[in-house]
Structures are given as structure tokens and as C-alpha cells.
Amino acid sequence: MRRLITVFAIVGVSALLDGCLYYRLAQTYRQLCDNSPRIAILELDAGGRVLVFDEPTLFDTDVACLMGAAPSASEATRHGKQWRYVATPMDIEASADRAIIVDLTFVSADGGYRLSRATLPPQLERILSPHLIDQSISAACHGELDLIRRTARVDLSGIDRASLPDRASVIELFGPPNDPTSADGTLSWSYCLGSCTAPDHPTIMSKVDVTFDPSGQIEQVTADYLQYSAHANFTEERARVTFRGSIARISLDCGL
């Protein structure tokens, strides 16, 4: 009888967790850091890299809530649907190839749509070598999460700074900075999610600051997007990701 009660308890907890975003995020993290099931990084025949989830876990509603916005474009596919998020440079004269584009593929499953593939932006494909991707994933998987301070800390000592792009390469890929350059040589880029001039929806902005040493090598990178903030200091070999909003609010909005 006790064993039967235990089985029912496990089944009940599993059912409750399956409706919890925390649990689905944990499943996604496990795929990133474990061998099976895992997230594979594939080279496409047509060029580019794509993340493939062996076991799709996140729903489209999870992704939209975590992104803080609906996709820039959406279309139905044979097995589900395709989303595209576009981050447009604030500089209205910037060419279209400066936009940062992420394509997400969802498959129909469990009465909804689960994320199965994510295509990396072309700019990141040219920056991130397979070796640097492996180093970055390893660092993320050994990070420390502090829920009280709403912060994640990552040790960057395993990342080879020589493999990072230099100042000239960063400007070539992302274009001239569209924010004034600071006295310490930090370059800044600001982006809008979607169109920067569309009158029918509020502008969601993101900002990226990159600081270089005198030789042109990256020293620090800071990125801000909605309630998220990330700071990587490669000279001190550490990184920090912070959630500045209310855990209670995002729990209510996203159903955590």
C-alpha cells in the first residue's frame, strides 16, 4: 500500500511540474550540459549553425514570455510553426544586414508547440568558432545560481581570449557603433526588437557595450535587455547574469 501511495505521489508531482516553466527550463539546461538527451549544434549544408533539441521542452508561450514580446514574424509549417525575432539597429540608416535575426522552430506536441531548433544569428556564427562554443557551454554548465540575489555567476577561465574577435572584427560584423564612444574606448550598440519606428507597438530596446584593451582585444562585454543584464569581464575571467525585475512578477506573468 505504501509503495502504491509513493507511485501516485511521484506521478502527481511529475504532472504538476510538467506545467511549470521552472521545470521546463531545468530540462533545457540539462540537455545543454548532459550527454543524453542533449542539445546538438549542427552545421547546415547552406551555411550557419543551428541548435537542435533532442527532447523539445519549452513551449512557444514560455519563449514569448521570457523574451518579453511576441515574435517579429510567425508562419505555420508542416510540423508546427516558425518564429523570427529581429533586433534592428537604432541607427535608421543602418543596412538590413546589420539586424540580428534569430529563427526558432516549434513542433506540435502535447496540445501546444515546443521549441525544437534555434538558428544562431549570422554575426554570432562568424564570431563563435566550434571551439569557442564548446568553451562557453562548459563555462555556463559549471556556473553558480543565486536565486536570492537573482544572479548567475560563470567562471570564464576556460575561455581562450585569443579566440575572441578583436575590435576591427566586431565593428565589421555589427557596423559602426550607434551610440557615442566613451572615453575608455567602449563601443556601444542599441537595438530595437522589431522596428525602431513602428507606431503600433512600444519599442523594446537592448544595448550592448564592448570594451577593448589598447591592442584591440575584448576586455569586457555588457548587455542589457528588458529586465535582464549580463556582464562578462574576460580579464578577471568571470561573468554575471542578473535578473533586475521581480521574481514574483515574472512568476505571475510566465506561470513559473
Q: Which sequence spans correspond to the domains of the chain?
A: 2-254
- Tell me what pLDDT residue 19 has: 52
The residue behind cell 564592448 is 210
Give me the pLDDT at residue 6, please.
35
Q: How far apart are CA 226 and CA 65, in angstroms?
A: 12
pLDDT in tens, the chain (256 residues): 433 333 333 333 333 334 577 788 888 888 878 766 666 666 554 556 788 888 899 999 999 988 888 898 999 999 999 999 988 888 756 566 788 889 999 999 988 999 999 987 877 766 666 677 777 778 888 888 776 777 889 898 888 888 888 999 888 888 888 876 666 778 998 888 877 776 665 567 788 999 999 899 999 999 998 778 999 999 999 998 887 665 555 555 665 5
Q: What SS3 class is residue 164? A: coil
SS3 106: strand
Which has the closest alpha carbon to 48: 137, 131, 124, 133?
Answer: 124
> Using CA atoms, how far apart are residues 85 and 93, in angstroms rounded to an integer?
20
Reading the block at residue 228, the C-alpha cell is 535582464
Integer Cα distance of 27 and 25 in angstroms = 5
Look at residue 46 in the predicted model and tell me its pLDDT: 52
Of the candidates 55, 31, 51, 28, the one whose C-alpha atom is nearest the C-alpha of residue 110 is 55
pTM: 0.78
